[in-house]
Structure 1
Amino acid sequence: MIQIVDNYNLLNVDIKTTKKDREDYLKNNRYCCLSSSKTLKELSISLQDYIEKSSDNTFFSFFKDEGKKELKNEDDLIISIKKDSQDNYLAQTGNYVGKFFWDGLEVDIKSRFSNKFLERMLNFTNDIYLDDVSVSGEDTKELDISRFIIYYMFVQNLEKAFLLGLPKAYKSINYHDMKVKGKIDINRFIKNDIPFKGKISSTSREQKEIIEIIDVLYKAVKIIDNSSFSTKNISHIKTHLKQNRSNKYVSNETINKAIKSKALQNPIFSPYKKVLEYAKYIINGSDIKQKENASQETYGFLVNVAELFEIYVTKLLAKEFPDWGVSSPKIELYNTPSMFYQRKIIPDIVMIKDKEVMVFDTKYKRMLFRGRDKFGSGDVDRNDFFQINTYMSYYQNHKNNYNVKVGGLLYPFEKEFNKNICYSENWFDNSNTKFIIDGIDLSGDIENQDDTKFSEILKRESSFINRVKGLINQT
Structure 2
Amino acid sequence: MKITIPVNHNYYEEAPIHESVLGVAFGVNKSGIKNVQNLFSSLHELKLGSEQLKQIKLFSFKKSSFFEPDEERLILKLYSKEKLEKEKQYFVQTGLYAGTLFYKGCKINITSNHGDVFLKRMLNFVNDIYIDNEQVKAKKDETVNQFLFIIAYLFIQSLEKAAVLGLPQEYKTQRERSHKVRGAIDFNAYLKQDIPFQGKLTSVFKERSYVQEIIDVLYLTLRKLESLFGKEIHNRLLGVNQLLKQNYSGRYVTNDTIRKAKLHPSINNPLYSSFKKVLDYAEIILLENDLMSDDSNSNMSTTGYLFDIAELFELYIEKLLNKNFNEWSVNAQQQIDIYKHKFYMRSMFPDIVMKNRDNNKIAVFDAKFKKMEMINKDVDRNDLHQIHSYSGYYKTEIITAGLLFPLSNEINIEKSHSDSLYGLVGNKIKFLIDGVYINDKLSMKELIQKEEEFIERIGAALNNY
TM-score, structure 2 length as denominator? 0.79
Offset from partner CA, 1:151-208 (integer Å, 9 cap, x none): 34324664x5699695254746635233436x542xx344433654422345667653
Give unmatched runs, 5+ long, in structure 2: none
Match of 1:150 in 2: 151
* Pairwise CA distance, 1:437: 0.5
Q: Which amino acid aligns with 1:177?
A: R
1:263 aligns with 2:263: no
Answer yes or no: is 1:17 the counterpart of 2:18.
Answer: no
Determine if the alignment matches structure 1 residue 242 to structure 2 residue 248: yes
Q: Which residue of 1 aligns with 2:115?
A: 114
Aligned to 1:192: 189
CA 472–220 in structure 1, closer or farther in 2 if over 3 Å, else same: same
Between 1:74-83 and 1:234-243, the stretch displaced more is 234-243
Deviation at 1:442, TM superposition (A): 0.8
1:174 matches 2:168: no
Distance 1:130 1:137, change over 3 A: closer
2:105, 2:296 within 8 Å by CA — same for their partners in 1? no
C-alpha distance 410-357 of structure 1, shift in aligned 2 (>3 A) = same
How far residue 137 of structure 1 moved from its aligned partner, in angstroms, is 2.5
Structure 1 alignment gaps of length 5 or more: 25-34, 372-377, 449-453
Number of residue pairs the alignment of both structures matches: 431
| Shift, 1:343, TM fit | 2.0
Asked whether the 8 Å contact 1:97–1:145 carries over to 2, the reply is no
What is the CA RMSD across the aligned residues, in angstroms?
Answer: 3.6
Q: Distance in 1 between matches of 2:354 and 2:9?
A: 32
Counterpart of 1:63? Answer: 62
Query: Does structure 1 retain, via aligned residues, the 8 Å contact 2:213–2:258?
Result: no
Tell me, yes or no, if the aligned pair for 1:15 and 1:37 is still in contact at 8 Å: no
1:465 maps onto 2:455 in alignment? yes
Q: Which residue of 2 aligns with 1:374?
A: none
In 2, the alpha carbon distance for the partners of 1:57 and 1:64 equals: 19
Deviation at 1:84, TM superposition (A): 4.3
Which structure shows the bigger proportion of residues in helix conformation? 2
| C-alpha spacing 1:129/1:151, structure 2 compared with 1 (3 Å) | closer
Q: Please say if residues 126 and 157 of structure 1, whose CA atoms lie closer than 8 Å, have aligned partners that are also in contact.
A: no
Confirm whether residue 344 of structure 1 aligns to residue 343 of structure 2.
no
Q: Which amino acid aligns with 1:472?
A: L
Q: Secondary structure at the match of 1:290?
A: coil
Is the Cα contact below 8 Å between 1:167 and 1:209 reproduced in 2? yes
CA distance in 2, matches of 1:123, 1:38: 40
1:254 to 261, 275, 284: 261
Aligned equivalent of 2:413: 419
Q: Given the superposition, is the C-alpha separation of residues 333 and 200 from structure 1 closer, same or farther in structure 2, using an over 3 Å criterion? A: farther
In structure 1, what is the equivalent of residue 124 of structure 2? 123
Kindly indicate whether the alpha-carbon contact (under 8 Å) linking 1:12 and 1:88 is maintained by their aligned counterparts in 2: yes
Paired residue secondary structure (1:193): helix
> Greater shift after overlay, 462-471 or 133-142?
133-142
2:367 aligns with 362
Q: What percent identity do the matched residue pairs reach?
A: 30
| 2:103–2:296 CA contact under 8 A, matched in 1 | no
Cα distance change, pair 386–89 in 1 and its aligned pair in 2 (3 A): same
Describe the superposition over 1:219-264 as per-residue Cα deviations: whole angstroms up to 9, x where unpaired.
6457758xx8335445955744634779682354531436434433
Per the TM alignment, residue 136 of structure 1 is displaced from its structure 2 partner at its CA by 5.9
Residue equivalent to 1:300 = 304
Question: Are residue 83 (structure 1) and residue 81 (structure 2) matched?
Answer: yes
Question: Which residue type is aligned with residue 278 of structure 2?
Answer: V
TM-score, with structure 1 as normaliser: 0.78
Distance 1:140 1:8 in 2: 21
Looking at structure 1, the residues matched to 417 and 315 of structure 2 have their Cα atoms a distance apart, in angstroms, of 24
* Alpha-carbon distance in 1 for matches of 2:440, 2:306: 27
When structure 1 is superposed on structure 2, of 117-126 and 240-249 the one drifting more is 240-249
User: What do residues 417-451 of structure 1 show as CA deviations (whole Å, max 9, x unaligned)?
Assistant: 111111010114353311111111114731x4xxx
The answer to whether the Cα contact below 8 Å between 1:189 and 1:201 also exists between their aligned partners in 2 is: yes
Distance 1:220 1:14, change over 3 A: farther
